[in-house]
Amino acid sequence: MARPVTLYTLQWGDLSLETICEKAKSFGYDGLELGIPPHIDVRQTDPAYFQGIKDLLKKYGLSVHAISSHLIGQAVCDNISIRHKEILPDYIWGDGEPEGVRQRAAQSLIQSAHAAKALGIDTVVGFTGSSIWHLLYSFPPVSEEMIEEGYRDFARRFKPILDEYSRLGVKFALEVHPTEIAFDTFSARRALEAVDRHPAFGFNYDPSHFGYQWVDYVDFIYEFPDRIFHVHIKDVYWSDTPKQVGVFGGHVTFGDPRRYWNFRSPGRGKIKFEEIIRALNSIGYNGPLSVEWEDSAMDREQGAREAAQLVKTLDFKPSAIAFDSNFGA
């Protein structure tokens, strides 16, 4: 096995951590990517709390390589609205005053780095949110200064967070994703430049968010070879023919068959994972391949079990020799 195959727990937030451990082990996973807040409380400071998590994972022969704060990270740079109340814990939402929410979310990201350190790992995966996502479609006209201010806002809010990550020896891996400050290759490069290529800032690579945008998801790996800190295995399907609902989603829910695109269980969409594995081998990525299972039309246990086996079949170690190196032996 070339890399550990892990299961991201956020989509299993209705289950206890021990139940997820039982299921993940039976499905064939090597470890977990722990979702914040349902399966780890980063406000804890007692070493015994984190030792308890490690002991539970060890009981089931599982490891942890990353913790993920997508929901809370979203609030750091976003324009806060009532929508955020649905995804944030009460201790982050508080009275809902926007700047207070942002500040508490930022503090939670710092606490996440401390939690990662306590678990003996060096990666926190998450979102950043974006104050300019709503300006994506440039009408009424959007000036370059408005966009630039969005990146300055991101830098002001994230540089102090990243400085603390560096102090702790932990990295923050932004999942490049619509609604974030980086959602394709160009915006990812701009985000990296906005924080002056901070050594603690990189990316959680998830090809599913590129495919339906028609962004070259293999090229992204080669563009940022030293910034791929973590990898999600998630698939997506997009239609070859016109649909009633286009790429923007038409205000219908995920899974609606009228949509142009929908997430699918790994191997059941259009992402070419073989090319991804070869690219990851090329850049020397040795971290986990974490299954983020999202398929509204499929039973999640069947999908998660199937995905674990698929990833283990697809993954392979790079060759230590050139195939023609022994022709003259």
Q: In sequence order, what are the beta bridge partners of 112? A: none
Give the residues across from 33 on adjacent strands.
Answer: 8, 66
Number of Cα atoms under 13 Å in the Cβ half of residue 269: 31
Other CB atoms within 10 A of residue 228 CB: 22
Predicted pLDDT of residue 329? 65
Residue 115: which of 164, 75, 185, 150 has the closest Cα?
164
List of domains in the chain: 5-236+262-314 (3.20.20.150)
pTM reported for the whole predicted model: 0.96
In whole angstroms, give the CA distance from residue 231 to residue 165: 19
> How much is the pLDDT for 323?
82
How many alpha carbons fall within 13 Å on the CB side of residue 44? 19
DSSP 274-301: HHHHHHHHHHT--S-EEE----TTS-HH
Q: Coil, helix or strand for 257?
A: coil
Q: What is the pLDDT of residue 119?
A: 98
* Calpha distance 12→19 (Å, rounded): 10
- Do residues 194 and 221 touch, judged by C-beta distance below 8 A? no
Neighbours of 162 (CB within 10 A): 22
- At residue 261, φ and ψ (nearest 5 deg) are -140, 155
What are the tokens at 192?
């990296």
Measured over the CA atoms of residue 191, residue 294, residue 222 and residue 186, the dihedral's sign is: negative
CA dist list (Å): 144 to 136, 138, 148, 149, 186: 12, 10, 6, 9, 15
Please tell me the distance from the alpha carbon of residue 204 to that of residue 274, in angstroms, as a whole number. Answer: 18
Helix (H, G, I), strand (E, B) or coil at 279: helix
Report the C-alpha gap between 105 and 88 in whole angstroms.
9
* Residue 62 in tokens: 């599982």
Instruction: For residue 233, give the nearest of 201, 285, 277 by alpha carbon.
Output: 277
Q: CA-to-CA distance for 133 and 137, rounded, in angstroms?
A: 9
Residue ranges in the chain modelled with pLDDT below 50 = none
φ, ψ of residue 232 in degrees (nearest 5) = -100, 140
